[in-house]
Amino acid sequence: MFLPLSLAVFLSATVVLMWSIAFVVRDRPVVLKQLWAAAVVECLLAVQAVSAAVALVAVGREIVVWEYWGYVFTALLVLPAAAAWAFAERTKWSSVVLAVAAFTVIFLQWRLLQLWG
Amino acid sequence: MSKSASWKQRLERRLDTTERTVDPREGGTGRGFGRVVVTIYAILAVAATARALWQLIDHGHQAPLPYALSLLAGVVYIVATVALARSGPVARRVAWVAVLFELVGVIAVGIATVAVPGSFPDQTVWSGFGQGYGYVPLVLPFVGIWWLRRTRAPR
């Protein structure tokens, strides 16, 4: 995996995580600006998924394919789900959900790096 | 809401509101804090189910029982997720059964893996009380039970 891209995912997801924790503390629901930030993370994840697919086909790495793509798809799913709930839940709990989603992205990114070796 | 408003403005407006936190006894299991419970159940459901499917397809012959058990755990997590997200007496009952099943599963498999190391040839979600998943599988059923009791409608 392209390391700068991974670092960008870590950094941007951490921003979303901290931002939503700050909102939880202040008892506020998710705002649109946070969803733009989450969209940036999502775009980075999508670019990463495509580039990883290309790299896998081109270089043919020895990798546990099922596990790897399982993590990739889970990572791609959590932020849109959290964003959808930001509209439905206009209390601080939408911020908690976004924080959980951002944390999941960070955790999965770390696992992906481990798998890639 | 005027029709000339751009989609950006519309999104902005929809996210410019703040509701009071609903009373858990009126909002059902899927509102407020319940969203967090449902989110974590959903993540665990996807993780457990995807992993078990991959294990069964990739090397299922090595340890069919633990992998089948993992798959069952994953499916029950999916049931718990859906039941907690929905409201109504039937969904509540289903959620209770699913959450209690997870509790019994994680404790039984946890004890088995700790007392008799090697009783399971490979990791399951419940091995070592959910160690591989940050003990989330052990903590979550208690959170689920607490939340189901907390949201019980007043009689």
A6: number of Cβ within 10 Å: 17
**How close, in Å, is residue B55 to chain A by CA atoms?**
9
B6 vs A contacts (CB less than 8 Å): none
**How close, in Å, is residue A92 to chain B by CA atoms?**
8
Question: What is the distance between the alpha carbons of residues A45 and B81, in angstroms, rounded to a whole number?
Answer: 25
Domain assignment of residue B18, yes or no: no
pLDDT tens profile A76-111: 999 999 999 888 888 999 999 999 999 999 999 998
**How close, in Å, is residue B100 to chain A by CA atoms?**
24
Question: Closest-CA residue in chain B for A99?
Answer: B36
Question: What is the distance between the alpha carbons of residues A48 and A8, in angstroms, rounded to a whole number?
Answer: 10
Domain assignment of residue B22, yes or no: no
Q: Which of B66, B79, B85 is nearest to B125 (CA)?
A: B66
pLDDT at B2 over 70: no
**How close, in Å, is residue B126 to chain A by CA atoms?**
18
Q: Supply B2's token pair.
A: 């005027």
B86 touches chain A (CB under 8 A): no
B4 touches chain A (CB under 8 A): no
Domain assignment of residue B6, yes or no: no
B39 and A28: CB-CB below 8 Å? no
Domain residues for the domain of B65 are: 28-150
Domain assignment of residue B96, yes or no: yes
Question: What is the distance between the alpha carbons of residues B127 and B48, in angstroms, rounded to a whole number?
Answer: 12
Say how many domains are in chain B.
Answer: 1
A82 vs B contacts (CB less than 8 Å): 39
Write out the H or E segment, with its range, that includes residue A115. Answer: helix A92-116
Q: Select from A70, A77, A97 the Cβ nearest to the Cβ of B36.
A: A97
B35 and A96: CB-CB below 8 Å? yes
For chain A, the domains span 3-116
pLDDT at B103 over 60: yes
Domain assignment of residue B155, yes or no: no
pLDDT tens profile A33-42: 999 999 999 9
In this structure, of A91-100, B101-110, B123-132, the range with the lowest mean pLDDT score is: B123-132
pLDDT tens profile B22-33: 777 777 788 889
- What is the pLDDT, as a whole number, of residue B23? 75
User: Half-sphere exposure (CA, 13 Å, Cβ side) for B147?
Assistant: 28
A90 and B19: CB-CB below 8 Å? yes
In this structure, of A82-96, B1-15, B99-113, the range with the lowest mean pLDDT score is: B1-15
ipTM: 0.86
pLDDT band at B121 (very low <50, low <70, confident <90, very high): low
Q: Select from B35, B46, B54 the Cβ nearest to the Cβ of A66.
A: B54
A31 vs B contacts (CB less than 8 Å): 15-16
